[in-house]
């Protein structure tokens, strides 16, 4: 049965999406089905991670075709870890959505689209073929556009158009790059590309394909200067949709950068490394400066997604073992923290009647539990010890200094201080200052409060656990980084893949 584990995190939500579509007029059935599919995805991903941790990378080829001709799923420690995080966020958000999604949104197809998105994200993390990565990108884009449009309002239409436009441009660059690589090597299987790309004599053509991939994955990850679609769209949909977008979608782009520019194309000492260094620094700065100028909670958090993506790209740009470990650790930390902050923002908007900080106040006195649950991920995002963000930033600072990239290390420190400023601004304006004379928001029923705050509390507990019991998570990141830099176990798993 373990041979089929690499596809379980994909198949479970995909089947759930199909059955939820059949039950589109039965909201309660869709809710139960969505929760069950997300739990099965999480359980399957945990089982997959346990097997990979114990026995090494696990691969499965489909249809009886040997690699590189057939579809292959490959789970190494990085892919399995990302599948677990997908299941964790997917389960937390689907519980939250029961109190967040309106009946109109549920009847508009929220649950089938949500499950299709989870399947596509897991598929992107576990595929062993670049063309199938492109396919999962397209499925992800279609599901994301649908989720942006459920229970449509005018602001959602504008945000959806911007989201779709740049992401379609990015996938076009991806398809062109795939055609280029296939013409050079005759394969798109990532393990096979690892062997064939170094043998290509025309290094300029390889560099061109690599730059096209940087644009494609950079658009998906929202790096500088391809990020403008993110703060224009992530504040418009349901809070539960914003949370899963913020936690997972941009990280698929970061994962693709990590996977391709270690396994397929080695960028160390090439113009690719220089480009990634500039992208990392400028992404950190532009994101945090954009956040500092905003007054709406979700807009602030959206710009901080951009800023934090810069940290993740920084670890890859260094091309050192410690840098790669720092990137992996940062991705795991950030998915949990950022998704949780967007979940908190949804509750704040319900209690305060909106997300404009100038019209909020007094939420600490009104709901001390919510204020505490906001403080945990906010402090972690800013990098305060002993939470997960502190260790993630420390790893990347150490890696930058050890590699002699002093300017990038200084940039990371300044951005961390400005992130703390933004989180303090939200705390002061929304929670600490006196409430306005008229607060248009409403109170939460006890059941709705449990559904909204329960997932937030669970994710906050994970953040605290990573900060206080760092060693197991650091060991996971170290072993995952070692597999990226020495892909022999990955290659062996693909070569010996079961039909």
Q: What is the pLDDT of residue 2?
A: 66
Task: Count the alpha carbons within 13 Å of 414 in the hemisphere toward its beta carbon.
Answer: 16
Residuewise pLDDT in 10s, the chain (499 residues): 567 889 999 999 999 999 999 988 888 999 999 999 999 999 999 999 999 999 999 998 887 777 677 789 999 999 999 999 999 999 999 999 999 888 888 888 899 999 999 999 999 999 999 999 999 999 999 999 999 888 666 666 777 777 888 888 888 999 999 999 999 999 999 999 999 999 998 989 999 999 999 999 999 999 998 888 888 888 778 899 999 999 999 999 999 999 999 999 988 888 999 999 999 999 999 999 999 889 999 999 999 999 999 999 999 999 999 999 999 999 999 999 999 999 999 999 888 888 888 888 888 888 889 999 999 999 999 999 999 999 999 999 999 999 999 999 999 999 999 999 999 999 999 898 887 766 565 677 788 889 999 999 999 999 999 999 999 999 999 999 999 999 999 998 888 765 5
CA 255/CA 147 separation, integer angstroms? 22
What is the rounded distance in angstroms from the CA atom of residue 311 to the CA atom of residue 318? 11
The number of C-alpha atoms within 13 Å of 116 and in the hemisphere containing its C-beta is: 22
pLDDT digits over 430-440, tens only?
Answer: 898 887 766 56
Residue 156 confidence (pLDDT): 65
List of residues 6+ apart from 214 with CB closer than 8 A: 257, 272, 275, 276, 279
Would you state the pLDDT for residue 408?
A: 95
pLDDT of residue 178: 94
**Can you give the pTM of this predicted structure?**
0.94
What's residue 165's pLDDT? 81
Dist. CA 195–CA 379, nearest whole Å: 44
pLDDT at 455: 96
Classify 278 in phi/psi space as left (phi over 0), alpha (psi -120 to 50) or beta.
alpha
């Amino acid at each position: 049965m373990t041979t089929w584990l690499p596809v379980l995190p994909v198949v479970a939500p995909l089947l759930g999406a199909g059955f939820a579509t059949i039950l589109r007029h039965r909201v309660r059935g869709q809710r139960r089905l969505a929760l069950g599919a997300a739990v099965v995805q999480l359980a399957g991903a945990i089982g997959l991670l346990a097997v990979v941790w114990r026995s090494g990378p696990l691969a499965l080829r489909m249809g009886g075709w040997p690699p590189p001709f057939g579809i292959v799923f490959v789970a190494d420690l990085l892919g399995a870890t990302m599948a677990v995080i997908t299941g964790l966020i997917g389960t937390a958000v689907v519980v939250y959505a029961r109190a967040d999604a309106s009946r109109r949104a549920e009847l508009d197809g929220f649950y089938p689209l949500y499950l299709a998105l989870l399947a596509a994200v897991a598929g992107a993390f576990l595929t062993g073929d670049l063309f199938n990565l492109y396919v999962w990108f397209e499925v992800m884009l279609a599901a994301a556009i649908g989720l942006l449009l459920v229970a449509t309002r005018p602001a959602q239409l504008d945000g959806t158009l911007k989201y779709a436009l740049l992401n379609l441009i990015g996938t076009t660059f991806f398809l062109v790059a795939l055609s280029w690589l296939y013409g050079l090597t005759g394969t798109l299987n990532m393990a096979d590309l690892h062997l064939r790309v170094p043998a290509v004599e025309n290094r300029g053509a390889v560099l061109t394909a690599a730059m096209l991939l940087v644009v494609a994955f950079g658009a998906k990850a929202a790096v500088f200067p391809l990020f403008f679609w993110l703060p224009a769209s992530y504040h418009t949909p349901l809070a539960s949709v914003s949370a899963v977008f913020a936690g997972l979608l941009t990280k698929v782009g970061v994962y693709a950068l990590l996977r391709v520019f270690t396994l397929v194309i080695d960028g160390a000492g090439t113009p690719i490394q220089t480009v990634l260094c500039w992208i990392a620094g400028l992404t950190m700065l532009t994101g945090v400066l954009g956040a500092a100028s905003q007054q709406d909670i979700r807009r602030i958090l959206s710009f901080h997604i951009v800023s934090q993506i810069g940290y993740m790209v920084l670890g890859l740009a260094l091309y050192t073992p410690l840098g790669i470990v720092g990137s992996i650790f940062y991705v795991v930390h950030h998915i949990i923290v950022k998704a949780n902050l967007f979940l908190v923002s949804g509750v704040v908007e319900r209690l305060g009647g909106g997300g404009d900080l100038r019209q909020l106040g007094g939420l600490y006195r009104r709901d001390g539990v919510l204020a505490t649950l906001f403080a945990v991920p906010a402090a972690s995002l800013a990098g305060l010890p002993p939470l997960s963000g502190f260790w993630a930033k420390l790893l990347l600072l150490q890696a930058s200094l050890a590699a002699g990239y002093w300017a990038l290390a200084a940039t990371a420190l300044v951005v961390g201080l400005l992130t703390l400023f933004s989180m303090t601004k939200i705390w002061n304006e929304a929670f600490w200052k006196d409430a306005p004379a008229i607060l248009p928001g409403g109170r939460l029923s006890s059941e709705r409060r449990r559904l909204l705050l329960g997932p937030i509390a669970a994710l906050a507990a994970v953040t605290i656990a990573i900060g206080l019991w760092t060693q197991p998570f650091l060991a996971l990141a170290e072993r995952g980084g070692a597999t990226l830099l020495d892909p022999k176990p990955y290659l062996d798993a693909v070569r010996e893949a079961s039909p």
